[in-house]
Amino acid sequence: MFGSCGVHSAADALNDDKSLAGGRIYHAAVRFDSILGHKRTTLLLAVLTLLGVVASASVLAGGVESSRSASVSLPDAALPQGCSRPAGGYLIVMTKYGYNDSVLEGAGPTKAWPVIRVAQGQEVNITVCNADPTQAHGFQIETYYDARIVAVDPGQVVSVSFVASQVGTFRIYCAIFCTIHLFMQYGQLQVTP
């Protein structure tokens, strides 16, 4: 009800003989209805967004479970030519599931993946392959391989070599936006003395 004149809606305001200021009440009712409409729209968008987040989480959780289940197997990505682990080195394969299947391994703020462990002074050789046929992915390593943003195109193979001179934990991450970007932020290079 609007005010004390007994008006319940914009239509009532137009039909109410008792309203002395029928025009003003109608305009107030329309403004009130439009505010409610805006709130309903905002609420609807919030609910749809929440459903999208829940659905995405369910899909990702299902992906994690399916990778651990023997009854369901994931399709193997076709590796580009030259995509192999260097002798004594490391192999990073980029797919629609991230670095070495980051999503399926549960990579996130509380779990680093992939993790490369080396000793200080060790020469580090990494082959980075993009087996995702649809998009480029980035590859960076804090301190060691981050002087410029490196984009690895679909089917491309990149060789990275450096000496691990500084002790510590260094983030391995994607620096270009891609659909799996959030799961490509949690790799680690761990250099011990």
**What confidence tens digit (pLDDT) does each residue in 148-184 have?**
888 999 999 999 999 999 999 999 999 998 888 888 8
Q: Based on the structure, what is the number of domains in the chain? A: 2
Longest CA pairwise span in the chain (Å)? 91
**What confidence tens digit (pLDDT) does each residue in 49-62 have?**
554 444 444 434 44
- The pLDDT confidence band at residue 5, using thresholds 50, 70 and 90, is very low
In a domain? residue 103: yes
Both 97 and 170 in a single domain? yes
For residues 170 and 45, the model is more confident at 170
Neighbouring CB atoms inside 10 A of 24's CB total 11
In a domain? residue 82: no
Listed residue (169, 182, 115) closest to 142, CA to CA:
169
CATH of the domain at 139: 2.60.40.420
Both 99 and 54 in a single domain? no
Both 60 and 141 in a single domain? no
In a domain? residue 80: no
Which domain, by its residues, includes 47? Answer: 10-68
Both 63 and 94 in a single domain? no
Q: Is 162 exposed, middle or buried (0-12, 13-18, 19+ CB in 10 A)?
A: middle
Both 64 and 95 in a single domain? no
Both 34 and 113 in a single domain? no
In a domain? residue 1: no
Both 99 and 188 in a single domain? yes
d(CA 164, CA 123): 6
Both 94 and 188 in a single domain? yes
**What confidence tens digit (pLDDT) does each residue in 132-148 have?**
999 999 999 999 988 88
